[in-house]
Structure 1
Amino acid sequence: MILNERRTEEGLLVSVCDPDVLGETFEDGELSLTVSEEFYAGDEVDEAAVVDSLRRASVANIVGERSVTVAIDAGIVEEANVLAIEDTLHAQLLRLG
């Protein structure tokens, strides 16, 4: 999985994606998701690093079947809140307070 962390005034912004979706655009009706290299490119890491980063995140964007499944299995994202867009999965995380 590819992981990118950015420090912002609001906290830690994390983007995670599967390598095979980087640079792709997915569409479903009026929904469109572009997995841009500018936003998602980072380091290729293992599941433990992804889980650690997501647990520390204030905001996260997660794209791809494997990446989203890791977040679900770790209890970070609820499966009911995952979007299926074309042939990939997408989840967002926002921690308040």
Structure 2
Amino acid sequence: MYLKIHKQGDGMVLAACDQKLIGSKLKKGKICVEVTESFYKGDIVSEEKLMEELKCCVNANLFGEKVINCAIKCGMVDPDTVMIIDGVPHVQIYRV
């Protein structure tokens, strides 16, 4: 799994995806998303490391079965909120 943290001012966005998804273009109706290297390709991390980072993040953008299962396992995502885009699970997390 790839993990990349984007910092902007006082905030940050955690981006994570399954490795095989880099470069994918996903479509569902009017939704069109590209899983770009520039946004998602960071460090290759273990499930434990991703769970640790997810618990601390404020915002996250997640793609892929492995990443989403990890987020569900650590209690950050309700399985009923997972969106499927072109067969790929996707979740965005926003803490207010």
TM-score range, shorter chain: over 0.9
TM-score after normalising by structure 1 = 0.93
Aligned residue number for residue 67 of structure 1: 67
Matched, 1:6 2:17: no
The answer for unaligned runs of 5 or more in structure 1 is none
Give the ranges of 4+ consecutive aligned residues of structure 1 lying more than 4 Å apart after TM superposition: none
Query: Cα deviations across residues 38-76 of structure 1 (Å, max 9, x unaligned)?
Result: 111100000011011111111100000110111011110
Identity of aligned residues (%): 30
Tell me how far 1:10 sits from its aligned partner.
4.4
- What is the rounded CA distance, in whole Å, between the counterparts of 1:9 and 1:58 in structure 2? 13
Aligned residues: 96
Shift of 1:6: 2.0
Q: CA RMSD in A?
A: 1.0
Given the alignment of the two structures, is residue 36 of structure 1 paired with residue 55 of structure 2, yes or no?
no
Counterparts of 2:20 and 2:10, CA distance in 1: 30
The residue type paired with residue 87 of structure 1 is: G
Matched, 1:16 2:16: yes
SS in 2 for 1:75: coil
Q: Which runs of 5+ in 2 are unaligned?
A: none
Instruction: State how far apart, in whole Å, the 2-side matches of 1:51 and 1:11 are.
Output: 19
CA contact (8 A) 1:10 1:58 kept: no
In structure 2, C-alpha distance between the alignment counterparts of 1:13 and 1:20, rounded to whole Å: 21
Query: What's the TM-score once normalised by structure 2's chain length?
Result: 0.94
Q: 2:55 aligned with 1:55, yes or no?
A: yes
